[in-house]
């Protein structure tokens, strides 16, 4: 009898489990939602920051009052919290554990701006996959990345965290990261992506973080929103609203953007989280009266989860009772969060296998991908032939500068978990890899990037006299970029310029390697060096990558993902600016050329500065290598094409030098006449092409004419027929154009 009962119970349970398993995600969401109290629903919308285990927070989890946590990644602590949610709460809904895994978890990759310089989305996807494998082993199933903010102002410290100034490049990088984090197949190594910051945060006035922005709806739609739309279409599970107020409306209270554009126009089904306290900060903005009002505004704007404002957990029930928010909207917000939790398999696998955590870190594959990413992200800006070093001629090198052996700083901003003990610095790598070929003298000169130190410089200069070549590692410490770390002066800090000048004065060749979180103003460095290799903050394996590039075992292939200004006063300076009525033509007179008391000269009436040329130091898309490439004229497959057509655009690329190398071949377009003014050039494609010395290849792009669509005068996205120019070129400022007409 008892045995019968047991077997009936087992059959019933197995049936229940398999019925549950057969239920669609939506059915599971609905059946759970039916069982939830209002408090439990609101709890799912609440995200808390935790540090260590505390009983109060665990108590909230037992009562179903927390949907997600951030900032903790100790597996033991996380398992305890998860147990409180899964085994000790009424409905057992798992937490979704989040963290800022921005360019690596343990193995640090180059900062995102550096990754963008690779123009290699496949490699970036692989890096994001590796970050997900490492982070999910520690229980992190949700990262606040990719940051898709277009940034045209290097004073803004967070330019380091994104892909730079160009919409197309940003889109390719963002989609690659989303695919990498989440995985092609969702499994236990999938980490939900969070596209951020929605939107225009990178346009902060004056480059000062958290500042207001004033981007028009048309520019939002043409420049700032496309990367978000593409990532949503690629399956990004979550999105974060930004801190800024744009045109007077804080993003976290902007229903037009979240409800209408994101959900209505793009069909986003994931969930939206606020930025840290960006709900309650609407009080500071003068947009909300108090935290309750802020919650009402954010919730009705479509923000599902409250990160650290305690607004929903404290006031949403009251707001519902007062009829200020609806039950339907609460249910929908809960649905979108539960959907992601089901999709990630958190209900089946909520816990971390504590024994396997460590073995997931710093694998050989991860380190190699990080090294390769650092190689591809380095941009050779100048070279008078000193690079690559010729080991048969160079007997002694001086390794100097504050970044030569800075294991923490070369990792860059947002390095929470990457351990500097694993960093391979240039000094270490040069000694390890080339210590048998050349004698290495190390004399740092300056010990950190902001230091003023005449004695240190004197020592470096003395040491330089014993060397054949000076390898100077300069740049910015990690803390000079990133969130809330903006600058007005974007030249090298401390005594670095003085030191470079002193080293240069020795007459020995100076090879500069610059590690920084942004593009810097480099006029002085260009004048006082023989080569500049710019590697942004290159991550854990930056040392071997840079050493191999310097000694010629790797060839540079990175291209600038941002325009490098000559002077900070040119900022914002970006290649794809609109056509002005009086474009600069390169014949402008500079201040020192204008005679005293002269009237206005006829040449000067264009859009430029009297005391600085219009041109940048280095344009977008620029980068040299150890060979030379020659571009043939751009040719189009047809002179006319329909709005739904595809146009073949081609050019012959020839390696005219002596080394095999990879060139990032870029496709640019200009729409000559529009219903609104259009950019002088826009990137529409790129390919990495590797050629042996003497080899030529016809590089072909298939330009989908629909990719030329934009929001014109009537604010409808479409291709406007007319004449276009097109270039296949090695950067945004060169190339021989061809023309075509869209009919």
Instruction: Please state the closest distance from residue 307 (CB atom) to ligand NOJ, in A.
Output: 7
Among 483, 523, 707, 741, contact with ligand NOJ (rule: CB under 6 A): 483
User: How far, in Å, CA of 127 to CA of 108, rounded?
Assistant: 9
> How many residues of this chain interact with ligand NOJ, rule: CB under 6 A?
7
Helix, strand, coil percentages in the chain from 3-state DSSP, rounded to 5:
35, 20, 45
Q: Are 450 and 489 in contact (CB under 8 A)?
A: no
Is 276 an interacting residue with respect to ligand NOJ (CB under 6 A)? yes
User: How far, in Å, CA of 152 to CA of 159, rounded?
Assistant: 8
Binding mask 81-100 for ligand NOJ (x = CB under 6 A): -------------------x
**Residue of 428, 366, 427, 360 lying closest to 108 (CA atoms):** 366
Which of 149, 409 has the CB closer to ligand NOJ? Answer: 149
Which of 100, 525 has the CB closer to ligand NOJ? Answer: 100
Instruction: Please state the closest distance from residue 302 (CB atom) to ligand NOJ, in A.
Output: 19
Which of 77, 440 has the CB closer to ligand NOJ? Answer: 77
Which of 279, 733 has the CB closer to ligand NOJ? Answer: 279
User: How far, in Å, CA of 399 to CA of 444, rounded?
Assistant: 7
Is 196 an interacting residue with respect to ligand NOJ (CB under 6 A)? yes
Which of 196, 504 has the CB closer to ligand NOJ? Answer: 196
Instruction: Please state the closest distance from residue 278 (CB atom) to ligand NOJ, in A.
Output: 8
Q: Residue with CB nearest ligand NOJ?
A: 144
Helices (H), 426-567: 426-434, 454-464, 496-505, 523-527, 542-550
Which of 244, 513 has the CB closer to ligand NOJ? Answer: 244
Q: Are 101 and 135 in contact (CB under 8 A)?
A: yes
Is 650 an interacting residue with respect to ligand NOJ (CB under 6 A)? no
Q: Are 264 and 250 in contact (CB under 8 A)?
A: no
* DSSP secondary structure string for all residues of 274-332: --TTTTTHHHHTTS-SSHHHHHHHHHHHT--BEES--HHHHHHHHHHHTTSS-HHHHHH
User: How far, in Å, CA of 390 to CA of 394, rounded?
Assistant: 6
User: How far, in Å, CA of 412 to CA of 420, rounded?
Assistant: 11
Instruction: Please state the closest distance from residue 319 (CB atom) to ligand NOJ, in A.
Output: 25
Instruction: Please state the closest distance from residue 524 (CB atom) to ligand NOJ, in A.
Output: 33
Q: Which two tokens stand for residue 674?
A: 């529009």
The single residue of 275, 304, 409, 417 carrying the catalytic annotation is 275
Q: 56 to 75, contacts with ligand NOJ by CB under 6 A?
A: 70
**Residue of 305, 309, 347, 291 lying closest to 41 (CA atoms):** 305
Which of 197, 221 has the CB closer to ligand NOJ? Answer: 197
Q: 293 to 322, contacts with ligand NOJ by CB under 6 A?
A: none
Among 275, 417, 530, 617, contact with ligand NOJ (rule: CB under 6 A): 275
Q: 544 to 603, contacts with ligand NOJ by CB under 6 A?
A: none
Is 105 an interacting residue with respect to ligand NOJ (CB under 6 A)? no
User: How far, in Å, CA of 541 to CA of 374, rounded?
Assistant: 7
Is 198 an interacting residue with respect to ligand NOJ (CB under 6 A)? no
Instruction: Please state the closest distance from residue 158 (CB atom) to ligand NOJ, in A.
Output: 8
User: How far, in Å, CA of 681 to CA of 22, rounded?
Assistant: 52
Instruction: Please state the closest distance from residue 615 (CB atom) to ligand NOJ, in A.
Output: 34
Which of 182, 241 has the CB closer to ligand NOJ? Answer: 241
Binding mask 131-150 for ligand NOJ (x = CB under 6 A): -------------x------
Q: Are 136 and 188 in contact (CB under 8 A)?
A: yes
User: How far, in Å, CA of 179 to CA of 126, rounded?
Assistant: 9
Q: 210 to 269, contacts with ligand NOJ by CB under 6 A?
A: none
- Residue at token pair 């309650």: 280
Please tell me whether residue 397 adopts helix, strand or coil conformation: strand
Q: Does 275 qualify as catalytic in the annotation?
A: yes
DSSP 221: I
Instruction: Please state the closest distance from residue 483 (CB atom) to ligand NOJ, in A.
Output: 6
- Please list the active-site residues: 275
Footprint on this chain of ligand NOJ (rule: CB under 6 A): 70, 100, 144, 196, 275-276, 483
């Amino acid at each position: 009898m008892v045995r019968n009962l047991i077997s009936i119970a087992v059959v019933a349970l197995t049936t229940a489990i398999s019925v549950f398993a057969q239920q669609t995600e939506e059915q599971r969401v609905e059946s759970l939602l039916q069982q939830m109290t209002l408090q439990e629903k609101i709890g799912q919308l609440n995200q808390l920051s935790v540090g260590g285990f505390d009983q109060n927070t665990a108590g909230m989890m037992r009562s179903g009052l927390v949907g997600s946590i951030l900032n903790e990644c100790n597996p033991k602590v996380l398992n305890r919290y998860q147990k409180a949610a899964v085994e000790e709460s009424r409905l057992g809904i798992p937490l979704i554990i989040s963290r800022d895994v921005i360019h690596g978890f343990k193995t640090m990759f180059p900062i995102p701006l550096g990754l963008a310089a690779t123009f290699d989305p496949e490699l970036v996807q692989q890096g994001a996959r590796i970050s997900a494998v490492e982070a999910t082993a520690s229980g992190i199933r949700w990262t606040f990345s990719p940051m898709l903010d277009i940034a045209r102002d290097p004073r803004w410290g967070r330019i380091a965290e994104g892909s730079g100034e160009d919409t197309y490049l940003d889109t390719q990088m963002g989609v690659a990261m989303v695919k990498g984090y989440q995985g092609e197949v969702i499994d236990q190594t999938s980490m939900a992506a969070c596209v951020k910051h929605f939107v225009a945060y990178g346009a902060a006035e004056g480059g000062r973080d958290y500042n207001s922005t004033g981007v028009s709806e048309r520019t939002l739609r043409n420049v700032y929103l496309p990367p978000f739309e593409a990532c949503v279409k690629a399956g990004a599970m979550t999105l974060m609203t930004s801190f800024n107020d744009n045109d007077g409306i804080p993003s976290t209270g902007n229903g037009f953007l979240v409800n209408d554009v994101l959900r209505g126009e793009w069909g986003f089904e994931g969930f939206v989280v606020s930025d840290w306290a960006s709900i309650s900060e609407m009080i500071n903005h003068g947009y909300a009266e108090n935290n309750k009002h802020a919650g009402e505004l954010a919730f009705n704007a479509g923000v599902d989860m409250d990160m650290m404002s305690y607004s929903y957990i404290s006031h949403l029930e009251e707001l519902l009772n007062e009829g200020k928010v609806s039950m339907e909207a609460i249910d929908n917000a809960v649905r979108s969060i539960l959907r992601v939790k089901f999709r990630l398999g958190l209900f089946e696998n909520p816990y971390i296998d504590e024994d396997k955590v460590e073995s997931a870190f710093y694998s050989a594959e991860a380190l190699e991908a990080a090294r390769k990413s650092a190689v591809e992200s380095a941009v050779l800006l100048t070279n008078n032939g000193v690079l690559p070093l010729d080991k048969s001629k160079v007997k002694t090198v001086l390794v100097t500068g504050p970044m030569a052996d800075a294991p923490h700083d070369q990792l860059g901003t947002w390095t929470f978990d990457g351990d500097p003990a694993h960093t391979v610095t240039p000094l270490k790598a040069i000694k390890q890899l080339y210590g048998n070929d050349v004698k290495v003298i190390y004399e740092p000169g300056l010990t950190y990037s902001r230091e003023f130190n005449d004695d240190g410089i004197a020592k470096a200069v003395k040491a330089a006299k014993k060397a054949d070549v000076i390898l100077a590692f300069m740049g910015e410490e990690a803390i000079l970029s990133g969130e809330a770390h903006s600058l007005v002066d974007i030249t090298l800090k401390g005594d670095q310029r003085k030191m470079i000048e002193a080293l240069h004065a020795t007459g020995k060749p100076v090879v500069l390697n610059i590690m920084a979180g942004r593009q810097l103003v480099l006029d002085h460095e260009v004048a006082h060096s023989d080569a500049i290799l710019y590697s942004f903050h290159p991550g854990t394996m930056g040392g071997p990558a840079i050493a191999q590039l310097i000694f010629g075992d790797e060839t540079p292939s990175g291209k600038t993902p941002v325009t490098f200004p000559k002077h900070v006063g040119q900022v914002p300076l970006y290649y794809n600016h609109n056509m002005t009525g009086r474009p600069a033509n390169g014949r402008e007179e500079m201040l020192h050329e204008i005679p005293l008391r002269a009237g206005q000269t006829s040449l000067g009436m264009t859009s430029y500065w009297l005391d600085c040329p219009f041109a940048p130091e280095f344009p977008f898309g620029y980068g040299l290598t150890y060979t030379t490439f020659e571009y043939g004229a751009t040719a189009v497959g047809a002179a006319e094409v329909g709005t739904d057509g595809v146009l073949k655009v081609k050019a012959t690329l020839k390696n005219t030098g002596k080394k095999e190398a990879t060139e990032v071949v870029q496709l640019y377009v200009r729409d000559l006449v529009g219903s609104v003014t259009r950019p002088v050039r826009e990137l529409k494609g790129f390919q990495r092409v590797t050629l042996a010395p003497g080899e030529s290849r016809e590089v072909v792009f298939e330009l989908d004419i629909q990719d030329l669509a934009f929001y014109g005068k009537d604010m409808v996205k479409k291709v406007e027929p007319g004449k276009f120019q097109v270039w296949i070129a090695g950067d945004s400022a060169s190339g021989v154009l061809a023309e075509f007409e869209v009919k």
